[in-house]
A and B are shown apart, each in its own frame.
Chain A
Amino acid sequence: MASLADESIIADFVAESREHLSSVEPDLLAMESLGAKVSQEVINRVFRAIHSLKGGAGFFAFEALKKLSHAMESVLMLVRDGKLSPAPDIMDCLFTGVDRLRAMLDDIQASDNVPFAKELANLEAILSGKGVNLGETVKGREKGSKRDFDLDAESVRSALRRGMNLYRANAYLHRDIKDQGLTPLAFLNNAMSVGACLDAFIDIDAIADLENCLEQDLAVTLLFASVLEPDLAALALKLPVEQVKVLEVKALKEEMKAKAKAAKAAEKAEPKAEPGPRQEAPAPVAEEPVAEVEPEAAVEDKPEARGGAAMKEGGNETLRVRVDLLTNLMNLAGELVLGRNQLVRAVTDYQNEIPGLGAILQNVNQVTTEMQEGIMQTRMQPIGTVFNRFPRIIRDMSRQLSKQIEVQIEGAEVELDKSIVEMLVDPLTHIIRNCADHALETPAERKKAGKNPTGVIHLHAFHEGGQINIAVNDDGRGIDAKKILAKALAKGLVTKAQAAEMTDREIVHLVFAPGFSTAETVSDISGRGVGMDVVRTNVEKLGGHVELETEVGMGTTVRLRLPLTLAIIPSMIVGVADHRFAIPQVNVVEFVWVKASEVAQRIEHVQGALVLRLRDKLLPLVRLADVLGIQRLFLDAATGEMRPDRRASIADRRGDAPETPEEASTRERDRRTDWRSDHNIIVLRVGKNHYGVIVDELFDIEEIVVKPLSTFIQGTKCFSGATILGDGRVIMILDAGGLSTAAQLHFTDLQAEEIRRLEEEKRSAALKASRRRSVILFEAAKGERFAVPQDHVLRLERILRSRIELIGDREYIEYRGEGLPLVRLDRHLEVRPLDKGLEELFLVIPKVPGQNSTARPPAGILISEILDALDVEVELKAVEFTGPGLLGSAVVQDHLTLFLDPVNLLKAAGLMGGDAA
């Protein structure tokens, strides 16, 4: 039967029905939470949504859909009429019913195959509990003809009670509905705004009856109850009067009359009893029931009624447009912008010659920009379409987990590109489930912790700095960094050394590490961690970031930052040889410029990979040209041409001999020192790893429109799309992740190397420190240099040669009232003696280990001049003329310098120990 109807009409029906269902859910939740206090308006809204679904299903003869929605409608009717209170178990039935309906809509042609017996049985059980029999029908006879229609007894009763007339209306699918710019559902909605629709089906008999059958227009029969008079009803339905007929329901009327009598009798006996159905004759418009119907109609006009929840008459305010149409429009708009730019460039010179051209250009300019923005706007969807599904998910989970959870939504109206909204569903669902499952405590635990037993999950979306921020906050137990760290260590995700340097914040972010989450973490770790790496990957795929803030015992906030649209992304344009590529700016960490002269120091090989030393870290490097197999070019300094570059590695040199400064200066135009051979390195981010890409040239950052790649090229993996630059040229967009895979970067190897290096550096620093000495530099004979470690020197004194006294062959000088023996170096070492003619001499008075500074020094060493006191880093070499008291020699300030060990020297001179006394 369904095949009789137009495919596109059915597609519209499915789309509209989906919208209805999604609007039903929040209302059902409201019904549940408010219980009997729920406003009539909400119940009506749900009722009407399900009702129009049922009507549509009847229209297209989707039997399963119709049966189930009919049962749900009947239950809702009881709730509406106050005969049933929306208890959780009843709501469960309704919720599962909604799920089934949705499953049916997913594949509407196979909807009859969706099993719904259980749901139906549950609903029927509720109904029969209230004395309603779903199968019960009454005959309605069309006035003026002999045709009978089966009507659902309960619905008719309800309608008659409200003083409604019953009508049968025939509507022709094309003539009366489609050609009027309506959809079947819109038609039904319209009908429901003036009454209640009892049943709708495709009437084969009617087709056969009427001459219209030749037109092959489907007749849809609507059994319809309204307070309106027949002519008014036809007008309201926008149908010709002859297509609307009154139905008589004799049997039921009699039954109801009897009941009414009984009720009247009861009224007499007990005046306060509820007025029962009192109308004897339903034909005229009863005044009272109008008031009853009004709240329903009032819903229509309430502007604050939520988007999909309130049913729009006719749907004049919105249009359904295919997404690919919009995508196409967006492309064309981009093309228009390009055309405008070219036009402006081409006619600028004529601006003065043609009067008014400037104004025209400006106008074109502005309109183009506005049009592009407008078209972008059409793809925007409120984030609420994702948010609004969470109350339901949380409701189900809280019942399963026996937790009390409240969902708060803020900023549902914030708009994002459709594709982003769709791709957010999974990551957000994951985060929300984590919140409910792991983060929030049971009511008992919460009470113990002094919190409200109801946990709160707060969803908040807002604009900030040209990006969309989404925060998911819970007031649960938070994430314990210690436990996370223990887990990460156990799993080998971090080393102990790394762990020691991590901040709590960094540790908490380990939950995003791939491989962190497994099933057991669910029970081990309080908080989250299940598949958070998936969340991060998904969000990063969208060009966004995830962050986590947590406080133990207070709760956790997951923040997502996302671009407004995927279609236009700011990208850095880079050049390699004569190729150009775009790198999305979200992937770019920084830009490093290595001067040609520094290349050899900063870029090196580690295990066959090129690395750059960047702030004590090793950054793996790839040459974009090599990864992509592009012939490298270099600027030949001699000829000024670009020539193929054959060097295997950047750090290669033709010879290893260090250049002297003179040589380097004469080769100013050497390509290693020429600024044109400087290296431009773009540091890219892949997950938490960074790597550098060497490119030849950097251009501007441009806003590019991403175009998908042809299937032929997707296999290259290095590109995420293509784009057209302002000059009309097509360039590829680099995919940071794919590029690193193609380049076979092994980040873990490098990390190990980095750690090894750090340790080595520490060691060598320690070694250096041990080699580092503070020395006093002096001369004995002219041109002969000596050094004494400062810690071996007590003090330096200036003396006059005339003060030296000779006793035997030993020289003394009076020092602090005592005789101090003097040592001449040439007596003990193979060095030249001091110049004879010097009037002023100096004394090095050594420090004897273990002796305090006030003790009498054993001797003084005579020298001619003190040159300097400085820190030197030297490696002492043994000297051939070693003698006692010589540590060795080294070159200090370009002179060979002998390092003295004064204590041993004095020992050799026999001036230490007992000898000195």
Chain B
Amino acid sequence: MSQFATFHVGARLFGLDILGVREIIRVFNITPVPRSEPHIRGLINLRGQIVTILDLAVRLGQEGTPVKDSSHIVILKHTANASGAQAQGQGASQDLMGLLVDAIGDVVEAEATLAEAPPANLSDAEERFLSGVLKTEAGLLVLLNVQELLSSG
């Protein structure tokens, strides 16, 4: 059984393997970055480290939503460069990423191997970022492909 951190973006429930999540924090003071790609929401100061925040909704091709009381940031253990996890260089430790989500859900236990392929009726943009769908008690859980989310472009 794997544990998944779940969160809402728009009407859907998304999930990430909890081992890939560093921490989840409330949203505060995001500094926008002019001229950056639209899905870059900005930067925050997480105890002295600068974290780049992705707007998950925009990344998945939806409309960006304003920050609400329920909004949270999921800070990832992964870093933007895929090899960063094993590289010990300073770049990796600096390049922290976080996902802006509308609301945070429960931690769900499920068998990862039961995940089905994403449904075919997805837009191309979405399909790229999704790795599968799990049926859970809380409903359908869409699993995210973190590597793709964090790859540039």
Residues of A bordering B, CB below 8 Å: 322-324, 327-328, 331-332, 334-335, 338, 579, 628-630, 707-708, 710-713, 715-719, 722, 724, 728-732, 742
Are B89's CB and A730's CB within 8 A? Answer: no
Are B89's CB and A629's CB within 8 A? Answer: no
- Give the contacting residue for B52; candidates A630, A712, A728; CB below 8 A: A712
Tell me the bound Cα distance from A585 to B138 in angstroms. 55
What are 17 of the A-B contact pairs (CB < 8 Å)? A323-B90, A328-B90, A334-B48, A338-B48, A629-B34, A629-B35, A710-B94, A710-B96, A713-B33, A713-B40, A713-B43, A715-B37, A718-B34, A718-B35, A722-B43, A728-B45, A730-B43
Q: Give me 6 other A-B pairs in contact (C-beta within 8 A), A579-B32, A710-B50, A732-B33 excluded.
A: A324-B88, A328-B90, A707-B50, A713-B36, A715-B36, A719-B33
Nearest B-chain residue to A578, judged by Cβ = B32
Nearest B-chain residue to A323, judged by Cβ = B90
- Give the contacting residue for B31; candidates A334, A629, A732; CB below 8 A: A732
Tell me the bound Cα distance from A708 to B91 in angstroms. 8
Binary CB contact string for chain B from 73 to 108 against chain A (1 if under 8 A, 0 otherwise) = 000000011000000111101111100000000000
Q: Report the minimal beta-carbon distance from B63 to chain A, rounded to whole angstroms.
A: 19
Are A711's CB and B35's CB within 8 A? Answer: no
Tell me the bound Cα distance from A629 to B38 in angstroms. 12
Nearest A-chain residue to B29, judged by Cβ = A729
Are B36's CB and A730's CB within 8 A? Answer: no
Tell me the bound Cα distance from A332 to B52 in angstroms. 19
Give the number of residues in B that approach A within 8 Å (Cβ atoms): 31
Tell me the bound Cα distance from A334 to B45 in angstroms. 12
Tell me the bound Cα distance from A724 to B94 in angstroms. 13
A interface: dominant SS: mixed
Are A335's CB and B48's CB within 8 A? Answer: yes
Q: Does B123 contact A (CB under 8 A)?
A: no
Contacts of B88 in A (CB 8 A): 322, 324
Tell me the bound Cα distance from A470 to B125 in angstroms. 54
Are A331's CB and B37's CB within 8 A? Answer: no
Contacts of A710 in B (CB 8 A): 43, 50, 52, 80, 94-97
Binary CB contact string for chain B from 17 to 38 against chain A (1 if under 8 A, 0 otherwise) = 0000000000001011111110
Tell me the bound Cα distance from A839 to B106 in angstroms. 112
Nearest B-chain residue to A334, judged by Cβ = B48
Nearest A-chain residue to B42, judged by Cβ = A730
Tell me the bound Cα distance from A439 to B81 in angstroms. 46
Contacts of A711 in B (CB 8 A): 80-81, 95, 152
Are B31's CB and A729's CB within 8 A? Answer: yes
Q: Report the minimal beta-carbon distance from A724 to chain B, rounded to whole angstroms.
A: 5
Contacts of A732 in B (CB 8 A): 31, 33-34, 43
Q: Report the minimal beta-carbon distance from B3 to chain A, rounded to whole angstroms.
A: 28
Tell me the bound Cα distance from A590 to B54 in angstroms. 37
Nearest A-chain residue to B43, judged by Cβ = A730
Contacts of A322 in B (CB 8 A): 88
Contacts of B54 in A (CB 8 A): 712
Tell me the bound Cα distance from A730 to B47 in angstroms. 11
Given A338-B48, A628-B35, A711-B80, also A324-B90 (CB < 8 A): yes
Nearest B-chain residue to A624, judged by Cβ = B34
Nearest A-chain residue to B84, judged by Cβ = A711
Contacts of B35 in A (CB 8 A): 628-629, 716-718, 742
Nearest A-chain residue to B35, judged by Cβ = A716
Contacts of A712 in B (CB 8 A): 36-37, 40, 52, 54, 80, 97, 152
Nearest B-chain residue to A742, judged by Cβ = B35
Contacts of A579 in B (CB 8 A): 31-32, 34
Q: Does B62 contact A (CB under 8 A)?
A: no
Q: Report the minimal beta-carbon distance from A115 to chain B, rounded to whole angstroms.
A: 31
Are B44's CB and A730's CB within 8 A? Answer: yes
Are B33's CB and A724's CB within 8 A? Answer: no
- Give the contacting residue for A324; candidates B37, B42, B93; CB below 8 A: B93
Are B89's CB and A324's CB within 8 A? Answer: yes
Q: Does B70 contact A (CB under 8 A)?
A: no
Residues in B38-71 with C-beta less than 8 Å from chain A: 40, 42-45, 47-50, 52, 54
Q: Report the minimal beta-carbon distance from A119 to chain B, rounded to whole angstroms.
A: 34
Contacts of B32 in A (CB 8 A): 579
Are B47's CB and A335's CB within 8 A? Answer: yes
Contacts of B33 in A (CB 8 A): 713, 716, 719, 732
Q: Report the minimal beta-carbon distance from A348 to chain B, rounded to whole angstroms.
A: 23
Nearest B-chain residue to A732, judged by Cβ = B33
Contacts of B34 in A (CB 8 A): 579, 628-630, 716, 718, 732
Contacts of A328 in B (CB 8 A): 90, 93
9 A-B pairs with the lowest CB-CB distances in the bound complex, closest first: A335-B48, A628-B34, A710-B52, A324-B90, A716-B35, A730-B31, A730-B43, A730-B45, A711-B80
Tell me the bound Cα distance from A630 to B54 in angstroms. 19
Binary CB contact string for chain B from 115 to 153 against chain A (1 if under 8 A, 0 otherwise) = 000000000000000000000000000000000000010
Given A324-B89, A629-B34, also A730-B97 (CB < 8 A): no
Are A724's CB and B45's CB within 8 A? Answer: yes
Q: Report the minimal beta-carbon distance from B50 to chain A, rounded to whole angstroms.
A: 5
Contacts of A742 in B (CB 8 A): 35
Given A710-B80, A710-B97, A730-B29, also A716-B47 (CB < 8 A): no
Tell me the bound Cα distance from A628 to B32 in angstroms. 11
Tell me the bound Cα distance from A457 to B54 in angstroms. 54
Tell me the bound Cα distance from A322 to B88 in angstroms. 10
Tell me the bound Cα distance from A871 to B96 in angstroms. 72
Q: Report the minimal beta-carbon distance from A334 to chain B, rounded to whole angstroms.
A: 6
Nearest A-chain residue to B39, judged by Cβ = A712
Q: Report the minimal beta-carbon distance from B26 to chain A, rounded to whole angstroms.
A: 15
Nearest B-chain residue to A338, judged by Cβ = B48
Tell me the bound Cα distance from A707 to B36 in angstroms. 17
Q: Report the minimal beta-carbon distance from A881 to chain B, rounded to whole angstroms.
A: 67
Q: Report the minimal beta-carbon distance from B19 to chain A, rounded to whole angstroms.
A: 22
Contacts of A334 in B (CB 8 A): 48
Contacts of B89 in A (CB 8 A): 324
Nearest A-chain residue to B44, judged by Cβ = A730
Are B52's CB and A713's CB within 8 A? Answer: yes
Tell me the bound Cα distance from A353 to B32 in angstroms. 42
Contacts of B42 in A (CB 8 A): 730
Are B48's CB and A331's CB within 8 A? Answer: yes
Nearest B-chain residue to A324, judged by Cβ = B90
Q: Report the minimal beta-carbon distance from A711 to chain B, rounded to whole angstroms.
A: 5
Q: Report the minimal beta-carbon distance from A714 to chain B, rounded to whole angstroms.
A: 9
Q: Report the minimal beta-carbon distance from A627 to chain B, rounded to whole angstroms.
A: 8
Tell me the bound Cα distance from A553 to B100 in angstroms. 67
Contacts of A719 in B (CB 8 A): 33
Are B50's CB and A730's CB within 8 A? Answer: yes
Tell me the bound Cα distance from A630 to B32 in angstroms. 10
Contacts of B31 in A (CB 8 A): 579, 722, 729-732
Contacts of A628 in B (CB 8 A): 34-35
Are A724's CB and B48's CB within 8 A? Answer: yes
Q: Report the minimal beta-carbon distance from A372 to chain B, rounded to whole angstroms.
A: 13
Tell me the bound Cα distance from A732 to B35 in angstroms. 12
Contacts of A717 in B (CB 8 A): 35
Q: Report the minimal beta-carbon distance from B137 to chain A, rounded to whole angstroms.
A: 35
Tell me the bound Cα distance from A323 to B88 in angstroms. 10
Contacts of A722 in B (CB 8 A): 31, 43, 50
The residue in B31, B33, B49, B90 that gathers the most chain A C-beta atoms within 10 A of its C-beta is: B33
Tell me the bound Cα distance from A820 to B8 in angstroms. 109
The residue in B40, B48, B91 that gathers the most chain A C-beta atoms within 10 A of its C-beta is: B48
Q: Report the minimal beta-carbon distance from B34 to chain A, rounded to whole angstroms.
A: 3
Contacts of B96 in A (CB 8 A): 710
Contacts of B47 in A (CB 8 A): 335
Contacts of B80 in A (CB 8 A): 710-712
Q: Report the minimal beta-carbon distance from B125 to chain A, rounded to whole angstroms.
A: 17
Q: Report the minimal beta-carbon distance from B72 to chain A, rounded to whole angstroms.
A: 18
Q: Report the minimal beta-carbon distance from B76 to chain A, rounded to whole angstroms.
A: 12
Are A331's CB and B43's CB within 8 A? Answer: no
Contacts of B50 in A (CB 8 A): 707, 710, 722, 724, 730
Tell me the bound Cα distance from A629 to B40 in angstroms. 15
Nearest A-chain residue to B54, judged by Cβ = A712
